[in-house]
C-alpha cells in the first residue's frame, strides 16, 4: 500500500475531526464515511480482517461510532490526539494497544512488554515487527 495514501487518510481524518470540534455539522458524518471507506479499502487490499492494518482502521472506526453513545464523546478527543501523534511523530497509540491482543503478539503479555509498547520511541516500519522477544 502506498504510504502517501495511508497518510492522506489519516490527515483527512485529523482535519475532519478538527472541523467537527470547531462546530461544522457535516464533519463527523464525513469522518465516519471516510473511515468506513478506509477500512473497506484496506480490507479489499489485504482480504482478511486479521491483517493488522485492517484491525487498526476497523478499531478506529468502531471508536468513532462508540463516541456517539451517551457520555462517550471524549473518545473523539482521544482519537484526535492519537491521529495527530501518528501524523506528527509516527506514534500510533491504537496500533500499540492492538499489539496486546493475543492474535497480534507472539510473546507473553508482561509488564515489560506493556512498558515497551507505550514508551518505546517511534521507528520506521510496523510496530508488530518491532516487538521484542
- State the burial class of residue 86 (Cβ atoms within 10 Å of its Cβ: 0-12, 13-18, 19+): buried
The continuous run of DSSP H or E covering 23 comes out as none
Residue 127: name the closest of 49, 69, 119 by CA. Answer: 119
- The torsion defined by the Cα of 93, 96, 100 and 102, in degrees rounded to 10, comes to 120
- Look at residue 125 in the predicted model and tell me its pLDDT: 85
Residues in the chain: 133
Q: What is the pLDDT of residues 78-122, one digit of tens each?
A: 999 999 999 999 999 999 999 999 999 999 999 999 999 999 999
Domain extent listing, the chain: 3-129
Distance CA 38, CA 11 (A): 12
Answer yes or no: is pLDDT of 133 > 90: no
Q: Is residue 1 scored above 90 in pLDDT? A: no
C-alpha cell read off for 100: 496486546
pLDDT in tens, 47-89: 999 999 999 999 999 999 999 999 999 999 999 999 999 999 9
Q: Which element (helix H / strand E) includes 78?
A: helix 74-89
Question: Among all chains, which residue has been given the C-alpha cell 490527515?
Answer: 11
Residue with cell 471516510: 34
User: How many Å apart are CA 42 and CA 52, to the nearest integer?
Assistant: 10
Tell me what pLDDT residue 124 has: 84
Residue 52: Cβ within 10 Å count = 19
Q: What pLDDT does residue 16 have?
A: 98
pLDDT-derived band at 21 (thresholds 50, 70, 90) equals: very high
Provide the percentage of residues in the chain whose pLDDT is more than 70: 100
Amino acid at each position: 500500500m502506498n504510504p502517501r495514501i495511508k497518510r492522506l487518510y489519516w490527515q483527512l481524518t485529523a482535519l475532519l475531526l478538527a472541523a467537527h470540534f470547531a462546530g461544522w455539522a457535516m464533519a463527523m458524518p464525513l469522518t465516519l464515511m471516510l473511515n468506513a471507506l478506509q477500512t473497506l479499502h484496506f480490507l479489499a487490499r489485504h482480504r482478511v480482517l486479521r491483517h493488522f492494518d485492517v484491525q487498526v482502521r476497523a478499531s478506529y472506526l468502531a471508536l468513532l461510532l462508540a463516541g456517539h453513545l451517551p457520555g462517550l464523546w471524549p473518545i473523539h478527543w482521544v482519537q484526535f490526539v492519537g491521529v495527530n501523534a501518528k501524523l506528527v511523530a509516527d506514534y500510533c497509540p491504537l496500533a500499540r494497544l492492538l499489539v496486546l491482543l493475543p492474535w497480534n503478539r507472539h510473546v507473553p503479555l508482561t509488564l515489560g512488554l506493556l512498558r515497551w509498547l507505550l514508551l518505546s520511541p517511534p521507528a520506521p516500519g510496523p510496530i508488530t515487527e518491532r516487538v521484542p522477544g
